[in-house]
Structure 1
Amino acid sequence: MDVRRAQEIASSPVMANVTYNGQRIYIEHVDQQKGVATIHPLDNPSQKQSVPVASLEEHS
């Protein structure tokens, strides 16, 4: 995924189907300069982590 699309998803009120390492996640924040996103698994909001935006996959 590219940084621009990750930012669009993070800003959207509509929940997108995005995964990180096969796990469905929620994008909390995107740092466009660093190319990283703060995410958490949908089933565990307390498990926040920063990951490269390129490692996120959007599914339709």
Structure 2
Amino acid sequence: MELERAMTIFESPDTFKVNLAGQPVWIEEIDQANGMATVQVGSRPTNTMTVSVDRLQEEAK
């Protein structure tokens, strides 16, 4: 995913389906300077990872 798209999804009031390696994630924070995103994996708020934005994939609608 491109950084600009990740920012659009992060800032949107709408919900978008985003995956990391086939697992659903929720974008919690974007580090624009470094192209990184902190994501919540699955439904557990304590299960977070920081990954390169280009590893994220938006599901087709």
Alignment TM-score, normalising by the size of structure 2: 0.91
Are 1:5 and 2:13 counterparts?
Answer: no
Confirm whether residue 21 of structure 1 aligns to residue 57 of structure 2: no
Instruction: Point out 4+ residue stretches in structure 1 off by more than 2 angstroms.
Output: none
Unaligned runs of 5+ in 2: none
SS of 1:54's partner is helix
1:34/1:28 CA distance change after superposition, 3 Å: same
- The question of whether the paired residues in 1 share the 8 Å contact of 2:20 and 2:56 is answered with yes
Q: Give the Cα separation in 2 of the matches to 1:49 and 1:59.
A: 19
Inter-partner Cα distance in structure 2 for 1:49 and 1:24: 12
Letter matched to residue 20 of structure 1? L
TM-score (normalised: structure 1): 0.92
Identity %: 35
Deviation, structure 1 residue 42 = 3.3
Letter in 2 for 1:54: D
Q: Give 1:52's aligned residue.
A: 52
**One-letter amino acid of the counterpart of residue 43, structure 1:** S
Q: Deviations over 1:23-42 (max 9, x none)?
A: 00000111111000010023
Gaps in structure 1 of 5+ consecutive residues: none
